[in-house]
Structure 1
Amino acid sequence: MSEEKITSPNKEALSRLTRAVKWSPGKFSLILARCDYAGLRAQIIEQLHEVCPVQIQEITIPPWERSLHRAISGEITDNMPDAVMILGLESSADPDAILKGANHVRGKFAKDFPFPMILWVTDPVMTKLIRSVTDFYSWAGTSLRFVPSDAELSDALQQNADDMFNEILGKREIGLSEENRFLADLSDPQEFEIFLKDLEALSPPASRPSPHLQFLRGRNARNKGDTESAMKDYKACLSFWKEKNDPEREAVLLYLIGQCCGKDDPEGAKTCFQDCIQAAGECQELAAKCLCELCGVFKEQEDWEEMEKTAEEALKVNQSCDNRQAECLQCHLFLAEAVLHRDALEKAEISVQHVLNALYLWENEDDRPVLGQASDILERVSQKKDETLWHSGINCIEHIKKHGIVFRQA
């Protein structure tokens, strides 16, 4: 990685980190390196290995480990390293126990580890250090912080939002530049929260929040189960894209708002999904998602006729998009359930046979909720008096049991 990719404040911090390691040969010293983004930290570590003349051994603390001293001792049984850097503290199952344990035996570190030790921490871990283990924190001779620039944060915000829109729309292209790859993965809830706080700090308090920021805030709130806050942010974002006359993004937000409505407001959800299909235009991937969501709404309302018609349409759209097994199986399941409730046994036989065929070709063990839904429907099928349906249902049930799905008792 070229040094030009590291921003000026981080270059200075990297130089100080290099000097701190170089100036402590053969003796213990604690160096705190603070960074909230795993990808940015990886860039800094890569550059550190390139510019520092001292060989630094990397040690990652396993999530289950409770002792920092033991974790280091277990990795240096053969030869004493020139320096070590400790990673993974923020991912520990109990970081408090590790820090308090290290504070309790801090005298052993200087005795047993005659080399510089770089301890990578995040802001939340640093707060724990300062509040809970003051002695260990004050023992650090050097404390450094590595942060993304404002420009990198703004760029990453737009690119993350664009990628999320494209994912929902079914577009495969990814627009994220390599320079800002470190802010691309927001799957870690803690890192997501920090990213949002950093972004909010960029905006003047009186200014209108960026629609991209509102979109990410909505997603974060939804991930935490706060649908009320999610809907507020999504609706504000929807107003912006309506003003900009961007039907695709309008459609995405209608889809997300519909999901937030859920069982609490089925009529609101139905309206959102229907409006989404209209706004989606030629975006069949999103239309397919909305049709499946509509099936779920009709199921809650026990509107089996509408559920059947919508499931048939959803199946056609999913097949035209060449979607994966899970989507098509979901459509067959909705269709089978609808016709079973209407006691249309001839049509039910065809639907159940489609389910059976799909299950025999099943490859994805991750879609267990879909298999669970199949188990409930097929258990009902096996109780029907129609002999063909009965045999098909029993065969499907036996097949699904191989996937570890437990059936409810009739």
Structure 2
Amino acid sequence: MPSLYRVEDADAYNFNSMQELAWAIETSQGEFSLILARRNYEALQEYIVRKLRQVCAVEFQEIYLNQSVKVKSLYTTILEQLGDQQPAAVMVFGLESLSNRSQVLITTNQVREEFRKHCPFPLVLWVNDEVLQTLIRFVPDLESWATTTDFVLSSSQLIEALAERESYLFTRILDAGGDQFLPNTAIFGSSYCRELDSALRDLQTRGDVLDITQEASLPFVLGREAYINGQIEQALEYYQQSLAFWQQQSRSCETQQQKTQQQTSFTSRLGRTTQIPTSLRTLPKQSSTPSTPQPLTPSPLERQALLLFHIGLCYLNLAELNRSQTRHHWITARGYFQKCIDTFEQAKRPDLIAKFITKLGETLQRLEAWKDLQGLAQRSLVLHRTYGNSLQLSQDYGFIAAVALQDCRWMGAQQAARKALELLTRLTNTSGQYQMSYLLLLAKAKGHLGQSEEAITILERAKETGPMDAPQLYIRILEKLRTLYFRQKQYLEAFRVKQERFSVEQQYGFRAFIGPGRLKPHLRQTSTLLLKQETAAEEITASVRQNDVERLVERIGSTQHKLTVIYGQSGVGKSSLLEAGLVPTLKTKVIGTRDVVPILVRVYTDWVREVWKSLASSPLKVDQLNGEGFSGLKVDPLKVVRVRGASPTAKAWPKGQGSQQSSHLQHSTQTNLQHSTQTNLQHSTQTNLQHSTLLEQLRQNEHSNLLTVLIFDQFEEFFLISDNPTERKRFFDFFRECLQIPFVKVILSLRENDLYFLLQGIRHKNFDSINNNILNKTILYYLGNFSLEDAKSIIKRLTERSQVYLEEALVNTLVEELGSSEGEVRPIELQIVGAQLQTEGITTLA
């Protein structure tokens, strides 16, 4: 490959490659041929396709793979999209976006001969280095059929692009402020990280280097990626590298200015500064913000302040992860946030101080530094009246309310909290944690004013937001609510709130033992200010119960087990295994080529409606609920698009806002359609439902390539509630029909002593699908107690996760006392005793 430093060199190389690609397409008419077009940058791909339409004599059809859809194989996908059409050539884009890319290519390789039989046209697959390596590694047979054509960007284009993106990244973050963390992908698009890696690898391979400014700014980009992925220590290391450089450059710049006493170009010391392209200069501005001159390229001081802020965020995150060192990390975070504000002040940017000061206030509130918080609130209130918005002003009044509560000024706290809530009503799409926080402050003020009933009403309203936005804040709301109920002698409600608190603490890993309650799936927070992910509870994954989950998943995937009956003693953990282990695992599974839809039911007063509601609330796509077979692909009509374009420059790499807006539009459209479909389903629950309606939907799921798993937990309750023979007949008619529908599996879970109910249910029915033997050993699945060693292992894993450390002697004694004569420990007893130890703070035998 020739030198590719200059734009002209890359243009010549790409022109020759494009001519080769056009020739390959034109000479392969009427027969199948596989062509790989390798490029690492989407903007380059778009430019080449536009130019190719101008120079190629053959019209070609474009198929775009959607990253949200699990494509099974390229062969079936292409045929489905083409239908009866016979194009002269086909181009496929988006292979790198598929989460199951390896499986798709392996499946495609297995049917590769079908291409020659049924696809008499050249097929062009656009790939990057990663996809090409996957082809070589997993499907060498398919890859050996292909010819490969490369398209590249010059080193100068890549270096210019990195300079533009680095400046734009700082500018966008400064513009957004500190109230929300914008990931790199939200700024540049989902392909940014992949293309950044490619750019650095291409430059390294060619022996071309970045200038000193880009070398220093790159760790900031990488640090943000590490932070978003929960790698906090790695993020701190990157941030500190970048901070050291910009601090040195600030000092050098000040020294030079003092010596020369004239305006000196700072950029001459760092290398050429590239201006932001016009298409990227449209940054959102607050209409209430005064016209403050803002440079397109942030100054060294502004970059330095932004790095200090990001380091502060890391220490806030460490405070959540390491609760034994929480206060220490809060103090460290406070120091960095304060330095950030001081640096913005040195840069004479009061508008940026207004944007980033709130995080310092939140940290002072956590540290209960009330005097400092009062001073900050007064200062930030003045700033935000000039430069801020309603959200920032509401935060200021929230600080004022918190200080007033500490000073026992109940009326002042009430007024400030109300003002904060009133400001929030002017906004849309704000995080629920703000409203929760202000409602908690208002409720505390009401409680001190003797208005306990109003305080309870306010806290119940705060609970409606749920724990997702701020679990620790939600827990504080529950603690206050329980206290008020208890003082009002509403002991049942107080107990209910206490159990909910335990459940939330268990879900987020704050509690090792939940007591007599049922386990829930864990909600894992990847980093501060980001959404959480639902996973199987560690109480399941850390114990022998994980083996049970894996065996149950294996049974569900097998064609030999249409029905599974889980049975065991009361308190052995059947419900927890299903809700906190099996269901979240199935939600992420693809069995064969089918997505799994678990439907969990444990309320039997109207079981038909409960099943239907579960179908409505399951996170399916519109096509799956409607059974319309939406493929998630878009196809360009067979037409020639004549577009005049210049040489692809770094200004277009990566796509940035354009791709971001496109993905947001697509996500918004899918979300609205899904909401509409679920609304229709929920509306159906208001009418009289028949079990035949459920059967019809289950058959639709089958045709939509879904595997539905109906799970009836605590099934003995059905027989206690439905003592009417007609109602029992209705259920078992439905049950029998389900066993005859392909790709529908049924799980029944009930106590060991109640297995005889099943015999009563099938007594007058013909269940050929299970040979009329519902208690066959191949159907039954026994769930037993823990062994002594398993119990010790579980205690160790759970206490480590929740950072509640029990002395080994205490653990051994606890397990021995709970152990039965058979050497087993009942899970329910382990949870109850463990919860009591944690509540009482007992960690040793002494």
Q: Same fold (TM over 0.5)?
A: yes
Hey, what's the Cα distance between the residues in 2 that align with 1:241 and 1:227?
Answer: 21
| Amino acid across the alignment from 1:81 | P
Q: What's the CA shift for 1:154?
A: 0.7
Task: Find the counterpart in structure 2 of residue 150 from structure 1.
Answer: 155
Q: What's the CA shift for 1:237?
A: 2.0
Distance of aligned partners of 1:335 and 1:100 in 2 relative to their CA distance in 1, 3 Å threshold: farther
Note if 1:210 corresponds to 2:215.
yes
Of the three residues 221, 227, 236, the one matched with 2:226 is: 221
1:219-368 aligned at under 5 Å gives the runs 219-245=224-250, 246-262=300-316, 263-264=318-319, 265-281=329-345, 282-323=348-389, 325-364=390-429, 367-368=430-431
Hey, what's the Cα distance between the residues in 1 that align with 2:210 and 2:51?
Answer: 39
Q: What's the CA shift for 1:350?
A: 1.8
Segment drifting more, 297-306 vs 100-109: 297-306
Whether contact under 8 Å (1:336, 1:352) holds in the other structure is yes
Q: What SS does the aligned partner of 1:7 have?
A: helix
Task: Find the counterpart in structure 1 of residue 78 from structure 2.
Answer: 72
Gaps in structure 2 of 5+ consecutive residues: 1-6, 178-186, 251-299, 320-328, 482-846
Note if 1:382 corresponds to 2:443.
yes
Whether contact under 8 Å (2:443, 2:459) holds in the other structure is no
1:7-86 aligned at under 5 Å gives the runs 7-62=11-66, 63-86=69-92
Whether contact under 8 Å (1:353, 1:392) holds in the other structure is no
Hey, what's the Cα distance between the residues in 1 that align with 2:111 and 2:29?
Answer: 22
Hey, what's the Cα distance between the residues in 1 that align with 2:369 and 2:452?
Answer: 23
Segment drifting more, 190-199 vs 92-101: 190-199
Task: Find the counterpart in structure 2 of residue 178 from structure 1.
Answer: none
Hey, what's the Cα distance between the residues in 1 that align with 2:356 and 2:138?
Answer: 49
Distance of aligned partners of 1:203 and 1:5 in 2 relative to their CA distance in 1, 3 Å threshold: closer
Whether contact under 8 Å (2:63, 2:93) holds in the other structure is yes
Q: What SS does the aligned partner of 2:82 have?
A: coil
Q: Which has the higher helix share?
A: 1
Task: Find the counterpart in structure 1 of residue 139 from structure 2.
Answer: 133
Hey, what's the Cα distance between the residues in 1 that align with 2:94 and 2:136?
Answer: 19
Note if 1:190 corresponds to 2:194.
yes
Q: What SS does the aligned partner of 1:39 have?
A: helix
Task: Find the counterpart in structure 1 of residue 809 from structure 2.
Answer: none
Q: What's the CA shift for 1:153?
A: 1.1
Q: What's the CA shift for 1:137?
A: 0.8
Q: What's the CA shift for 1:199?
A: 5.2
Hey, what's the Cα distance between the residues in 1 that align with 2:200 and 2:406?
Answer: 46
Whether contact under 8 Å (2:309, 2:336) holds in the other structure is yes
Note if 1:118 corresponds to 2:121.
no
| Amino acid across the alignment from 1:223 | I
Q: What's the CA shift for 1:402?
A: 7.9
| Amino acid across the alignment from 2:52 | L
Whether contact under 8 Å (2:65, 2:94) holds in the other structure is yes
Whether contact under 8 Å (1:103, 1:135) holds in the other structure is yes
Hey, what's the Cα distance between the residues in 2 that align with 1:237 and 1:148?
Answer: 27
Hey, what's the Cα distance between the residues in 2 that align with 1:50 and 1:338?
Answer: 68
Hey, what's the Cα distance between the residues in 2 that align with 1:158 and 1:205?
Answer: 13
Q: What's the CA shift for 1:377?
A: 4.4
Distance of aligned partners of 1:399 and 1:301 in 2 relative to their CA distance in 1, 3 Å threshold: closer
Q: What SS does the aligned partner of 1:120 have?
A: strand
Segment drifting more, 377-386 vs 285-294: 377-386
Distance of aligned partners of 1:259 and 1:318 in 2 relative to their CA distance in 1, 3 Å threshold: same
| Amino-acid identity (%) | 30
Segment drifting more, 26-35 vs 212-221: 212-221
Deviations along 1:122-174, whole A, 9 cap, x unmatched? 2221111110111111111x2122222111111111111111221233299xx
Q: What SS does the aligned partner of 2:34 have?
A: strand
Deviations along 1:285-344, whole A, 9 cap, x unmatched? 431243211122213322233234323433332332243x44333333344344334443
Q: What's the CA shift for 1:374?
A: 2.4
Q: What SS does the aligned partner of 1:59 have?
A: strand
Distance of aligned partners of 1:19 and 1:337 in 2 relative to their CA distance in 1, 3 Å threshold: farther
Whether contact under 8 Å (1:25, 1:115) holds in the other structure is yes
Q: What SS does the aligned partner of 1:210 have?
A: helix
| Amino acid across the alignment from 2:361 | C
Task: Find the counterpart in structure 1 of residue 680 from structure 2.
Answer: none
What RMSD over aligned residues (CA atoms) do the two structures have, in Å? 3.3
Hey, what's the Cα distance between the residues in 1 that align with 2:401 and 2:203?
Answer: 47
| Amino acid across the alignment from 1:102 | T
Q: What SS does the aligned partner of 1:58 have?
A: strand
Distance of aligned partners of 1:247 and 1:360 in 2 relative to their CA distance in 1, 3 Å threshold: closer
TM-score (normalizing by structure 1): 0.83
Q: What's the CA shift for 1:397?
A: 6.5
Hey, what's the Cα distance between the residues in 1 that align with 2:90 and 2:17?
Answer: 18
Based on CA coordinates, which of the two structures has the bigger radius of gyration? 2
Q: What's the CA shift for 1:198?
A: 4.1
Distance of aligned partners of 1:162 and 1:308 in 2 relative to their CA distance in 1, 3 Å threshold: same
Structure with the greater relative contact order (CA < 8 A, sep ≥ 6): 1 or 2? 2
Whether contact under 8 Å (1:335, 1:351) holds in the other structure is yes
Hey, what's the Cα distance between the residues in 2 that align with 1:145 and 1:157?
Answer: 22
Deviations along 1:70-99, whole A, 9 cap, x unmatched? 211121113211111011211113111210
Gaps in structure 1 of 5+ consecutive residues: 173-183
